[in-house]
Chains A and B, each alone.
Chain A
Amino acid sequence: MISHRDRNAQRIAALDERAEALGLKRGMGIADARAMHPAIDIEEADAQADRLLLEGLADWCDRYTPLVALDGADGLFLDIAGCAHLFGGERAMLDTMLTRFLQQGFIARAGIASAAGAAWAAARFASGSIVAVGEEAALLAPLPLSALRIEPAVRESLESVGLRRVGAVMATPRAPLARRFGALLLERLDQALGRSDEAVSPRLPAAPLSVERHLAEPITQIEEIERLTASLSQTLKHDLERRGEGARALGLMLFRVDGAVSQIAIGTSRPLRDPLLIQKLFHERLAATGQEYEVGYGFDLVRLSVLSVAAFDMQQTDLTGEIKDAEADIALFADRVRARLGDNAVRRPISVASHLPERSIALVAFTDAPASKSKNRVPSISLSERPVRLFRSPEPVEVPATELPEGPPLHFRWRRALYRVVRAEGPERIAPEWWRESIPDAMAKEGEDAGEVKNRAVAEKTASLTRDYFRIEDAEGRRYWLFRQGLYDAGRTSPRWFMHGIFA
């Protein structure tokens, strides 16, 4: 028995047949139930876990159709248009599904109808039934009002005027119903009767293309999965060729016999349709995660879907039958590394228009890099010298003394070692980008208007973040890039020093 907290009292949220046989009901207070039957077993409801379970079931249902939608906390919509024949027709599909749910330990109720509302009612009140087109009214007429997916308040007020069955509501004139109980009631009625369309929004976007293979004998070896991937991508290739497209992202869904579903997705940096290359990419991915795979009793359904496509440019080969394409090699290399080690394993630097050293180079994942080099945008050559290595975040440096307050240090301590400065060049002052920084609120002084206050706040913030960079050479000839953050100013703590990079 499951309890939950509702209106300040622990109440029964769900219960099994044995509890029902004891005369307990949903919504009853836990204290009352315990008073009646002290031996009952009560668990606290866990909405999160319920949700996860439902999503897991939805994943499993993906094997029947890619369009699976969650319905509230306890239902699933499956759009099986065009899928039923794969499983031997609607009746056979429904039966297998219910059997397999039962085998997994779930008691499921299911119904098939051409309208979502009718299917909802059929699943809940006439499990196992298949409602043909036009028979919705016959199904719904004898059912109670809760078959209509309406608010409990509306249902209660309908029942209070004597409309206890759906058939009664259907026979009532529509205009007074709408006026008294709202338009939603009629909409639900129409949806249940198939008079108006209802969009069921699936959890996962449907892939433009997908191929799957149902296996009579589950496979357990990774090599078998790879081989299967190759043959599936061979099938995909024809479709992609017909559409003149290549895959930019591919997903491999592995359905385990016991219901768990795992998905492996890979991205490619250029449109791809060669089965060999696709297999290679999946090979890397499977090799990287190979040890962690829980194979269990094996996979009985493998689906390869193209998650996104892009136009595929055909290239003409030269006389020796080879395509001179230097970037294809690099792209494939990058794709393989990314498939194995994650998207951030291969990155490419890009110049950004910024004066701040750490912002002026952005590292982007290989795919995000523009294919064509736009050279006219950012002036990439700067006259000032920059270090060859930059620390991810500037490292604090202890500077015991400077000859002049604004000059370079004489000694500094970095990573617990003391360095003596032999020569220094600088400073090169780099001010922060005030248009990006958040400006703290400043107290207004007398005679200042809001604009002046803001300007002062900006000036103070800028001063505290301004950096003076020095190129420094130590006694052994190592060259460093140090900066002092902040300006010497009255009433403020003395500026701190940081190591930001090292020169060659």
Chain B
Amino acid sequence: MAKDAVAREIVFALRRQIAKIEGTLPECLEAPARADITVVRRGGQAEGNDALSNRALASLALSTGAGCLDAALGGGLPQGALTEIHGLETRDAGAVTGFVLALAGLAVGAAQGEAGLATPIVWIGMTETFGEAGFPYARGLQSSFGVGPESLLFCEARKLADALWIAEEAARLSTSAAVVLEIRGNPRRLDLTATRRLHARAQQTGRPLFLLRQAALAEPTAAPVRLVVLPAPSGLRETVAGPLTGSIGLPAFAVSISKSAYASNGQFILEWNPDERIFMERGAGERSAGEIRAKDPFAVVSLPRHGADSAAAPGAVVAFKPALGRQARKPAAGDQPPRPQRAAHRGARRAG
């Protein structure tokens, strides 16, 4: 027992050392009762009440709703801090964007509850990134993440230096709910110093700053938490009559913690519930549904259109392939074109 305790002490001391180097909040490692540590850490500065309350806000955690992830992160994502969220490839942009948005939406909810006013999300990106991965589409953000167009503000910069400048200015705003900075790749300017500046600003205001990095490798930054988000096959749509075969259900993410003060790594499959606006860990039921899909992926392709009875057999696909051009002109009997289209097609024939 005693040996265990000593070992734990050493581990804690080492972690605190690491946290100090990385610029994270060491008090998170300790029991929450020890609030005086914050004062010690910034002893050189004369601090007012305001700064203290902001610090208190900073140590608050933004709960994601998914118990396992929250527990692994020690209660949730740090509220007033820089959080790195990585996507491995540009085509994963959808998943990463969705995940960040969900978090930002949670932050908006938290900020509104606290201040009682509409606070915007400031989304900063570079022209090149927006061109490559698409521009965030406000309508989609609203329908699935509950972030309305009125609470979004897009900033677009051509150069990275400008984007960082905007991010620093935006992070200084105490009236914004969250700041999202979107950067593609591993530019040299986004180094430890730059991220430390961003992190410090976020700590001061107590608002989350999400650094959304697409197609980037992990490198040393000042962010206390780094998550890697990958897309995960979604579950099935839930209907009254049970899961709908072949449908695409709630957005799912495979989230792994690549860096955290708690150093408990792990991967979690989370689903975003747009109705309740929380993350849920995927349960056992959905997982089995995924297995069904994996067994027979082709039979479901045409289902939504024709209904369950007229699903084409998988073998038919092979037969159609070489004769695709002719097939296009002569639809199968089961695939009647709609009436007006059919009439036009006949009229054209007669004329010819």
Contact = CB atoms under 8 A, between A and B. Distances in A.
Interface of A: 326-327, 329-330, 333-334, 336-337, 340-341, 344-351, 357, 360-361, 363, 366, 373, 380-392, 401-408, 410, 415, 417, 421-427, 445, 459-460, 463, 471, 473, 476-480, 487-491, 494, 501-504
B162 A340 contact: yes
B97 A389 contact: yes
A490 B351 CA distance: 12
Nearest to A488: B328
Given A388-B144, A478-B94, A494-B325, A373 B150 contact: yes
A341 B97 CA distance: 25
Contacts of A403: 298, 301-302, 312, 316-317, 320
A330 B153 contact: yes
Given A408-B302, A422-B297, A504-B101, 14 more contacts: A329-B174, A334-B153, A348-B152, A361-B137, A361-B149, A390-B140, A404-B332, A406-B337, A415-B91, A423-B247, A424-B304, A459-B344, A478-B95, A479-B251
B156 A425 contact: no
Interface in B163-188: 165-166, 169-170, 173-176
Nearest to B150: A373
Interface stretch (B3-11, B112-120, B194-202, B258-266): B112-120
Most buried by A among B149, B157, B169, B272: B149
Contact of B248 (A326, A348, A425): A425
Nearest to B325: A494
A425 B331 CA distance: 21
B156 A344 contact: yes
B270 to A, nearest CB: 11
A346 B154 contact: yes
Contacts of A423: 246-248, 293, 297, 300-301
Given A349-B154, A477-B233, A487-B341, A386 B143 contact: yes
A486 B277 CA distance: 37
A421 B136 CA distance: 24
Contacts of B304: 424-426
Contacts of A333: 122, 169-170, 173
Contact of A345 (B155, B293, B345, B351): B155
Contacts of B143: 381-386
Q: Which 8 pairs, one residue from A and one from B, show the smallest C-beta to C-beta distance?
A: A504-B98, A502-B94, A389-B134, A386-B140, A349-B138, A390-B137, A477-B233, A504-B251
Most buried by B among A346, A349, A385, A401: A349
B145 interface: yes
A326 B115 contact: yes
Nearest to A446: B351
29 contacts: A329-B173, A329-B174, A348-B152, A357-B139, A361-B139, A387-B94, A388-B101, A388-B137, A388-B144, A389-B93, A389-B133, A390-B140, A403-B301, A403-B317, A404-B305, A405-B327, A405-B335, A422-B293, A424-B248, A425-B248, A477-B252, A477-B254, A478-B92, A478-B231, A487-B341, A490-B345, A491-B352, A504-B97, A504-B272
B210 interface: no
Given A363-B154, A423-B300, A427-B305, A387 B320 contact: no
Nearest to A399: B324
Interface of B: 91-95, 97-99, 101-102, 115, 117-120, 122, 130-131, 133-145, 148-150, 152-158, 162, 165-166, 169-170, 173-176, 230-234, 246-248, 251-254, 272, 293, 297-298, 300-302, 304-305, 312, 316-317, 320-321, 324-325, 327-329, 331-332, 335, 337, 340-341, 344-345, 348-349, 351-352
Contacts of A334: 153
B289 to A, nearest CB: 11
B301 A410 contact: yes
A364 to B, nearest CB: 10
Given A341-B162, A380-B148, A504-B251, A388 B154 contact: no
Contact of A385 (B140, B173, B335, B345): B140
Most buried by A among B145, B231, B332, B335: B231
Given A345-B157, A403-B312, A478-B92, A503 B251 contact: yes
Contacts of A491: 348, 352
B138 A361 contact: yes
Contact of A407 (B137, B154, B305): B305
